[in-house]
Amino acid sequence: MKQLLTAEQIEEGVTRLAAEVSEFYAGKTLTVLGVLNGSIVLVADLIRHLDLPVRVGVVQASSYRGPADEPGPLRVELAMMPDIQGRNVLLVDDIFDTGNTLSTLLAEIRGAGPTSVRTLVLLRKHGRKAVAMEPDHVGFEIPNEFVVGYGLDYQDAFRNLPYVAVMEPGDGL
Report whether pLDDT(9) > 90: yes
Catalytic residues, by residue number, are 97
Report whether pLDDT(70) > 80: no
**DSSP code of 30?**
E
Nearest CA among 152, 130, 142 for reference residue 13: 142
Q: Is residue 173 part of a domain?
A: no
Which of the four pLDDT bands, split at 50, 70 and 90, describes residue 65? low
pTM: 0.90
Q: Is residue 102 part of a domain?
A: yes
Which CATH number do you get for residue 87?
Answer: 3.40.50.2020
Task: Return the beta strands (E) in the chain as ranges.
Answer: 2-5, 30-36, 54-62, 75-77, 88-96, 116-125, 137-142, 147-148, 164-166
Q: Is residue 171 part of a domain?
A: no
Residue-number span of the structural domain to which 21 is assigned: 2-166
Beta-sheet pairing, 75-77 with 54-62:
antiparallel
- Measured CA distances, 77 to 1, 87, 117 (Å): 32, 20, 18
Which of the four pLDDT bands, split at 50, 70 and 90, describes residue 79? confident
Contact 52, 18 (CB under 8 A): no
Q: Tens digits of per-residue pLDDT, 85-140?
A: 999 999 999 999 999 999 999 999 999 999 999 999 999 999 888 898 999 999 99
SS3 of 77, please?
A: strand
Q: Is residue 146 part of a domain?
A: yes
Q: Which of 41-55, 57-71, 76-90, 104-118 has the lowest mean pLDDT?
A: 57-71
Mean pLDDT for the chain overall: 91
Beta bridge partners, 120, equal 92, 137
Backbone angles phi, psi at 113, to 5 degrees: 80, 35
How many domains, the chain? 1
CA-to-CA distance for 55 and 62, rounded, in angstroms? 23
Identity of the residue numbered 108? E
Burial of 32 (0-12, 13-18, 19+ CB in 10 A): buried
Q: What integer is the mean pLDDT of 26-54?
A: 96
